[in-house]
Amino acid sequence: MFAGEIGVGAILCPIAGAILAPLAYAVRRKMVAWFAVFFALMTCTLSLLLLTNIQSGVLLTYNWIPSIGFSIALNLDALGVYVAAVAGSIGFLVMLYSVRYMEHAEIEGYSLLRYYGLTLLFVGSMIGLVLSDSIILVYIFWELVGFCSYALISYYYKDPKALRAGTKAFVVTRIGDVGLFIAIVALWGSTHSTSLAAIVNLAPADSTLLTIAGFGVLLAAIGKSAQFPLHVWLPDAMEAPTTISALIHAATMVNAGVYLVARTYPIFSVVPSWPMAVVIIGTFTALFAATMALAEPDLKRALALSTISQLGIMLSAAGAGAIVAFEFHLVSHAIFKGLLFLCAGVVIRSVHTRNMYEMGGLANHMKITNVTFIIGTLALVGIPIFNGFWSKELVLDSINGAGYLGATGVLIITSFLTAVYSWRMYYLVFLGKKRTPLEVRDPPYEMRTPLIILSIATLVSWIFISQFSSGLAYSLPSSYGAELLTVRETIEIVLLSPLVVVSIGSLCIIAWLAFVFKDRMMQFLKEDRGLAKALKHGYWFDDLYRVASRGLFFVGREVSYTQTGDVNYNLAGIVLGGIVILLILILGNMGW
Amino acid sequence: MTDIVTTHITVALVLFLLGLYCVLSKRNLIKIVIGIEVMNKGVILNFITAGYYQNNLGIAQAIVVTVILIDAVVVAVLFALIVNVFRHNKRIFAEDAARLKG
């Protein structure tokens, strides 16, 4: 009933909120925050309603440009709807949290209108991206998401670091966008269709164009989801307000890349070595980012690196064709990473620094934040009964089942590293001696509520695996290979799998670190030499890119000398070009 | 009939190339404008010839009248630009306008 209308409503509601926000701001400046919360609540309701309206096949098709087969349609299958529901609900919680968190911005001279308007647009674009069927609409929303993240990362525009981070995010993700554009053109060239559902059903045979499209999509995912070697923008994006970081990491932006790979998996699975390439990039990034997170002194950057690592795990699940495990891990990760970022926001708001070495001993001063952060961390590590445990074990099991033994091994090592850096993060922030002179206490209710809701979700979301997987199995074409899983089966798969040793191992590592090894490890990671130095500098990837861009600027300056601006010179060029075109036309007509 | 057409097209081509040579080789902006105008006349003559060749002289004349009209406007704008270049630099060489480049 009205499924299509609800879908359109979920896309248009936040966008309408973004358009109307200036009116609310004009009436009363303070009102804009609650206005945005109201629209986010409506979006949240609509996107959760979508969960009961999962449909297979496209809806509300509208032929826009029939001659090139460009039609707009809504696709309400589970793959998109789950991501939309996550974006809508976490978007609402983040908005609620922002009301108090962003109070200071107006005083410091940053407009709240810009913040709330862009955030609503951000959420709306993400929902539009995952619910659209036409790949051209996907591209438009993809760019909108990229633009919003750019504008929000440099929200504190008086800080040159924030400006630089925003520009960096924009430029780096743009490399991926080129990949998506190439993929769209190549896909259209090989199938003459822009509808993703139609292309999936066509199941085009392998060809050169399809190979190009496949690797274009992979490049797009690498850019958007911050995978190796384009991972450099995500840690820097932490200059954004913490609420925006939570949104980028949990609900919008970075999930788009891995979502696109999962969405197009049936199209490209026939391309030789494409699934392999996806799995290799995913697992390598997972390990690579986890090692960097070990030595990171900045709380938010450490969380960002852990997101890159978790996205790598998701990407390898998508590449192995494990659609249920992939989607399940995406939703679990969105919940617990949103929780972790909002907790980090509370901490940063009270201690006014992001450096973990200046925090410490906060556990007794902010009890609720402490408990919720522990819940988030345990889910991230993958300790039993938290949602991260079930989803990560499912991913590992399905990658193992798909025959990627090396990838499984790397991901197990990654899980152990995850345990180490998560414990280090918790230890530095909440345990030990209190290193900040400021008075620290739990946040006000507007900020506390999202924390509590998200920690409850972290505890219980896995119970719905049966409904979750049946939605996927019912709505997706069989080429996705989504399988039904009941809670009981999940428990059996996970607990009987030999890989359950990962979570037990993680527990043991944490215990070992906590009681025996912590001082030496902390000392080693704190010092700025040897391996720790390489980790802290992100293996000097930034410097590599800096050198590359300097080379590019040099070439640009040298080439610019050919542009004299002399009229006669330019005209001669025009005439020469005209002659060349004329020759090509004449020779073409003569049948060359 | 084809004789007339060939002659006219040849003359049109010669006019066009003369204008092109003038535009490419002169520094004086007014001379460049004159060159553009000469090129334009070649194009107009070509139009008329094509209309005559296809027995469609009416349409060709209509287009040519429009072209001449627009041409007058273009020349007026170009001279306005030249006057402004002269006010800035006290001379009207083409490279003076290049100061506008970024």
What six digits make up the tokens of B26?
């002169």
Q: How far apart are alpha carbons A157 and A108 in whole angstroms?
A: 11
| A355, A363, A519, A538 from A428: Cα distances, Å | 10, 11, 11, 20
CB hemisphere CA count around A244 (13 angstroms) = 29
Q: By three-state DSSP, how is residue A537 classified?
A: coil
| A133, A185, A186, A193, A410 from A68: Cα distances, Å | 16, 12, 14, 8, 45
Q: Which residue has the tokens 């913040």?
A: A115
Is residue B74 a part of any domain in this protein? yes
Q: Which residue has the tokens 């929902």?
A: A127
Higher-scoring residue by pLDDT: A539, A300: A300
What six digits make up the tokens of A126?
């993400």
Say if the Cβ atoms of A575 and B94 lie within 8 Å: no
Question: What are the tens digits of pLDDT across the range A204-239?
Answer: 666 888 888 889 999 999 988 888 888 888 888 888
CB A428 within 8 A of CB A359: yes
Is residue B11 a part of any domain in this protein? yes
Question: What are the tens digits of pLDDT across the range B46-93?
Answer: 999 999 888 888 889 999 999 999 999 999 999 998 998 888 888 888
Question: What are the tens digits of pLDDT across the range A174-199?
Answer: 888 999 999 988 888 888 778 888 88
**Percent of all residues in chain A with a pLDDT value above 70, rounded to a whole number:** 95
Q: How far apart are alpha carbons A485 and A385 in whole angstroms?
A: 17
User: Mean of the pLDDT values across residues B27-43?
Assistant: 92
CB hemisphere CA count around A436 (13 angstroms) = 26
DSSP strand E in A243-355: where? none
Shortest distance between the Cα of A580 and any Cα of chain B, in A, equals 16
Q: How far apart are alpha carbons A222 and A230 in whole angstroms?
A: 6
CB A311 within 8 A of CB A338: no
Amino acid in the structure at residue A128? G
Question: What are the tens digits of pLDDT across the range A479-527?
Answer: 777 777 777 777 777 777 777 776 777 777 777 776 666 666 666 667 7
Say if the Cβ atoms of A572 and B24 lie within 8 Å: yes
**Percent of all residues in chain B with a pLDDT value above 70, rounded to a whole number:** 94
CB hemisphere CA count around A500 (13 angstroms) = 12
Q: By three-state DSSP, how is residue B81 classified?
A: helix
Substitution target in B16, B24, B27, B101 with the highest count of A β-carbons within 10 Å is B24
User: Mean of the pLDDT values across residues A58-77?
Assistant: 77
Q: Residue A69 pLDDT > 60, yes or no?
A: yes
Higher-scoring residue by pLDDT: A95, A567: A95
Q: By three-state DSSP, how is residue A483 classified?
A: coil
Pure H helices in B26-91: 29-53, 57-89
Give me the CATH number covering residue B35.
1.10.287.3510
Higher-scoring residue by pLDDT: A60, A132: A132
Q: Residue B22 pLDDT > 80, yes or no?
A: yes
Burial pattern A409-425, b for ≥16 Cβ within 10 A else e, equals ebbbebbbbbbbbbbbb
| Integer-rounded Cα radius of gyration of chain B | 17
pLDDT category, B102, cuts 50, 70, 90?
very low
What are B's interface residues with A at a Cβ cutoff of 8 A? 20, 23-27, 32, 94-95, 97-98, 100-101
What six digits make up the tokens of A155?
């929200």
Measured between beta carbons, which residues in chain A are less than 8 angstroms from residue B82? Answer: none
Say if the Cβ atoms of B32 and A567 lie within 8 Å: yes
The residue segments making up the domain with residue B14 are 3-97
Shortest distance between the Cα of B95 and any Cα of chain A, in A, equals 6
> What is chain A's mean pLDDT, rounded?
84
Measured between beta carbons, which residues in chain B are less than 8 angstroms from residue A563? Answer: 101
Nearest to A485 by CA among A397, A355, A378: A397
* DSSP code of residue A195: B
Shortest distance between the Cα of A169 and any Cα of chain B, in A, equals 27
User: Mean of the pLDDT values across residues A430-443?
Assistant: 76
What six digits make up the tokens of A476?
């997706």
Say if the Cβ atoms of B97 and A567 lie within 8 Å: yes
Q: How far apart are alpha carbons A369 and A375 in whole angstroms?
A: 10
Is residue B89 a part of any domain in this protein? yes
Q: By three-state DSSP, how is residue A592 classified?
A: coil
pLDDT of A21 reads 86
CA-based nearest residue in chain B for residue A572: B24
Is residue B102 a part of any domain in this protein? no
Q: Residue A452 pLDDT > 80, yes or no?
A: yes
In terms of Cβ atoms closer than 10 Å to its own Cβ (0-12, 13-18, 19+), residue A235 is: buried
Domain count, chain B: 1
- Judging by DSSP bridges, how do beta strands A70-75 and A58-65 pair with one another? antiparallel
DSSP strand E in A165-287: where? none
Cross-strand bridge partners of residue A70? A65
Amino acid in the structure at residue A83? V
Is residue B82 a part of any domain in this protein? yes
Q: How far apart are alpha carbons A224 and A233 in whole angstroms?
A: 10
Q: How far apart are alpha carbons A69 and A251 in whole angstroms?
A: 31
Question: What are the tens digits of pLDDT across the range A284-311?
Answer: 999 888 888 887 888 888 888 899 999 9
pLDDT of B62 reads 92
ipTM of the complex: 0.72
Substitution target in A560, A568, A574 with the highest count of B β-carbons within 10 Å is A568
pLDDT category, A446, cuts 50, 70, 90?
confident
A560 touches chain B (CB under 8 A): no
Measured between beta carbons, which residues in chain B are less than 8 angstroms from residue A564? Answer: 98
**Percent of all residues in chain A with a pLDDT value above 90, rounded to a whole number:** 7
Is residue B91 a part of any domain in this protein? yes
Closest partner CB to B94 (pick from A567, A572, A575): A567
